[in-house]
Each structure stands twice: as structure tokens, then as C-alpha cells.
Amino acid sequence: MPVRFGYLGLTMTKAKLHTTAVILAAGLGTRMKSSLPKAMHRLGNRPMITHLIETAKQIFDDVVVVVGPDMPELERATQPYRTVVQSERLGTGHAAKMAESLFGDGDVAILYADNPLITAQTMHRLLDARRSGASLSLLGMRPSDPGKYGRLIEENGHVLRIVEYKDATEAERKIGLCNAGVMCADANDFRRWLSELGNNNAQGEYYLTDVVEMAARSGQVLCVEAPEEELAGVNSRAELARAEATLQQRMRQAAMDGGVTLVAPETVFFSADTQISQDVVIEPNVFFGPGVKIASGSVIRAFSHLEGCTVGEGAMIGPYARLRPGTHCATNSHVGNFVELKNVELGTGAKANHLTYLGDASIGAGTNVGAGTITCNYDGVFKHRTVIGERTFIGSNSILVAPVEIGDDALVAAGSVITENVSATALALGRARQCEKPGRGLAIKHALKAKKEQG
């Protein structure tokens, strides 16, 4: 089975009682300095919100996303899950309240779109803690630099309240356990607490963290600890880069655990949906864009870029190869250095080993495409297809002007411009006849030198 990075190979059993995940995603991401909603910034070539939804749907029965006004791209990215709009940004408590009609009757977890790397196991632990008798469970972490995170104030293993850094005493600021924001409680309890929230603070906002103290007064509040790299928020470009590094490390480890050889793991970059089977070898400095599937026994050589393509068993790709969307390289096919394929079917055992562009083409089994070959697939308005048969030989520096078909076992002479179909087994030459003029080369050289001396 190939490694599927979107889920990192994890399957969790959903709890029996109904559960709902509410994801708060209305933030503009001012610190990102971007016109995109914060939740639409990408990790592993997919939006942050998609990562969190894909994980949450493994654990929760329903997913609801709270978006801001005028965020159509975010609403499209969350489909088919329900969204509600927080038309005024009056704090996290206000955002959660916008979704209370969709809480359902079971347990509700409040998640944040800028915490995209929470794992399914941690979400499951959050639910387990809630159902162990706690009125509310929440996630906490012990970052290497607690900085300005809110601190969790505990007594006898139970959380009493959250104190924000700016309001904390010196003793409280020394506490290492910090709030990650995520919490889980019974839907009716959440509704009651949200109705009691006030905005008597400097920002005039309704803070979701205030429900912790309410929950502690009526029952137990339990903290579930998770690693910093899993819970750290993404609020700036620098934090986005750190989250990307964490995600890439997870995916590299999952690939190696699944039987993939990474010669230099830290130089390989995956997308969240990359699928790689066992016994694949990936050399240094390879980039996988979205939509790539690699079959067993293939070798992806150094400095190659793959996107929207499939690679069959035993294929050899690169070095310095580029496979673009729509490309399928069949079993034991070869794509060599400085070769670009776009929307190409490369047949079993077929080879394009050097300095070639093939676009919108079908290449038959056992065919060899020589260095410098180009399929001219675009006339400025329309794309056209080139079809090359099996066991055909395309000589170096050939130009194939589509639409054109070349039959099985044909031979195209080097340097040819092919504008008409070539029959099976035929030899095709499409170049000017060579002629020779004795002594003329030296005469031209002398004439040019004389011009140069005369300025």
C-alpha cells in the first residue's frame, strides 16, 4: 500500500456518541500581510483549513467552519461541510457562539484553523479526557519559549483558569504549561457558558478562554498535553515556514516507515496528497507537487520536479526531469536529464533521455525519443496531440508539429521537421538537402575578418 500523506496512514475509530468539531476560521491573518484569509495559506500544497478538516473528520461526526464575511474562497475550500459567517469579529467566544445552532446534542470540540497540524490521536485523547468525567477538556503544551502564551493555572491536576500573559503575575509567567486554545465539552454546557460570556475587557471582545473558569466552578477541567510543534499556531509567514518544516518531517518519516528510501530526507519536499509505494528510491533535492503517485521500484533521481503525474513500476525519472500534470510514465519507462513532459502517456519501456519537451503526446511501448526532440503542441489558440506508435525511433533534434501521428516501428531521421503523418515501418526525413561549396567557408571567414579590422 502506498504511503498517503494526507492522513499519514492513520485511521481512528469515531466515538459512539455524536460529536461535532467547530473550526474557527474567520481570522484575516493581519500578521501574514496577505489578501488571503489566514486559513487559506498552504502547507504541503493544500490550505491549512483542509489539513484540519481532513483530520477532524476522522474523529468527529460533523464538521462546522466559522468563516468571516467576504471569504468565498474559504467557503469553497470547506465544502461539503457547513459554514456559518461571523459578520463582526468580536472575539473567539463570539465566533463559537455563531455556530451554536449547529452544535448538535453530543460533545463539541472548538478548533482553530491556524492550528492545522493537530493529529488524530491528540483529538481522540481530547475526547477521551472529556468523557472520563471532565466537564471540559483542553489542549496544552510546554513550548521551549512560552513567550506570550496564556498560562494554565492548575491545582491537583485540574485546570482552574487561564491567565493571559499580560495579566499574569511574575510567578504565573514562570509556569511552563501553556494554553493551545482547543477545548471540548458537552454541547449544552457550551451553549450555557457562551451565553454567560462578557466583553468587559480592554479589547471589548468575548473570549472563549473565559469558559474554562466557568467549567471549573461546576466540575473538573482536564488538560491534555501535546508537543509544541503539533499545537503551535500559525500567525505569520515565519510561523508558516516552521509549520511546513514540521509537516515535511512527518511526511518524510512516514515515507521511510512505509519502505521508501530517501537518500537525503531533508532535501525532499512532499505534498499532502503524495502517494509513494514501497521500494521507491528518491534521490536528493526532489519536489513533489499535488497529485503525484509513484509505483513500487521506481527511482526518482536528483533535482526532479513532479506534479499531477503517475509513475509506473520500475520507472527511472531524472535527474533534472520535470513531469507536469496529466503525465503517466508506464512500467520501466525512462525520463532523463532536462526532459519535460506535460500531459503525456509514456508507454512501457519507452525512453526520452535527454533535453526534450513532449507535450500532449502518446508515446508507444519501447519507443526511443532522441535528444532535442520537441512536440509543437500549441498553435497559439488550440492544443494538438502527437501520437507515436510502438518501437519507433525519433532521431535527435526532431520537431513534431501536431496534430501528427507516427506509426509503429517507424524511424524519423535526426533533424527532421515532421508535419504530416508517418506510416508504420517507414523512414521519414523532413529536412533540407545538404550541399557543399568547396572553399567558400574559408572565403567567408576572411571577408568577415576584414570587416572587423575596418571597424
24 is in an annotated binding site: yes
324 is in an annotated binding site: yes
Using the CB atoms, write b or e for 297-329: b if 16+ within 10 Å.
bbbbbbbbbbbbbbbbbbbbbbbbbbbbebbbb
The residue whose grid cell reads 503539533 is 230
114 is in an annotated binding site: yes
> Do 425 and 408 form a contact (C-beta atoms < 8 A)?
yes
86 is in an annotated binding site: yes
378 is in an annotated binding site: yes
- Taking alpha carbons only, the member of 188, 198, 202, 196 closest to residue 214 is 196
The span from the CA of 303 to the CA of 277, in Å, is 20
- Taking alpha carbons only, the member of 83, 61, 73 closest to residue 13 is 61
42 is in an annotated binding site: no
357 is in an annotated binding site: yes
371 is in an annotated binding site: yes
Q: What is the identity of the amino acid at 191?
A: R
51 belongs to the catalytic site? no
52 is in an annotated binding site: no
26 is in an annotated binding site: yes
The set of residues, in sequence order, having a beta carbon less than 8 Å from that of 232 and lying 6+ positions away, is 115, 117, 141, 143, 239, 242, 243
The residue whose grid cell reads 526532440 is 373
Give the strand pairing for 158-163 and 151-155: antiparallel
295 is in an annotated binding site: no
397 is in an annotated binding site: no
Q: What is the identity of the amino acid at 293?
A: K
Kindly name the residue from 305, 354, 384, 446 that is annotated as catalytic: 354
87 is in an annotated binding site: no
CA angle 436, 439, 442 (to 5 degrees): 115
443 is in an annotated binding site: no
368 is in an annotated binding site: yes
Q: Give the bridge partners for 394, in sequence order.
A: 369, 412
200 is in an annotated binding site: no
343 is in an annotated binding site: no
92 is in an annotated binding site: yes
164 is in an annotated binding site: yes
Q: Which residues are annotated as a binding site for acetyl-CoA?
A: 371, 377-378, 396, 414, 431
Active site members = 354
Q: Which residues are annotated as a binding site for Mg(2+)?
A: 114, 235
Q: Which residues are annotated as a binding site for UDP-N-acetyl-alpha-D-glucosamine?
A: 24-27, 38, 86, 91-92, 150, 164, 179, 235, 324, 342, 357, 368
Q: Which residues are annotated as a binding site?
A: 24-27, 38, 86, 91-92, 114, 150, 164, 179, 235, 324, 342, 357, 368, 371, 377-378, 396, 414, 431
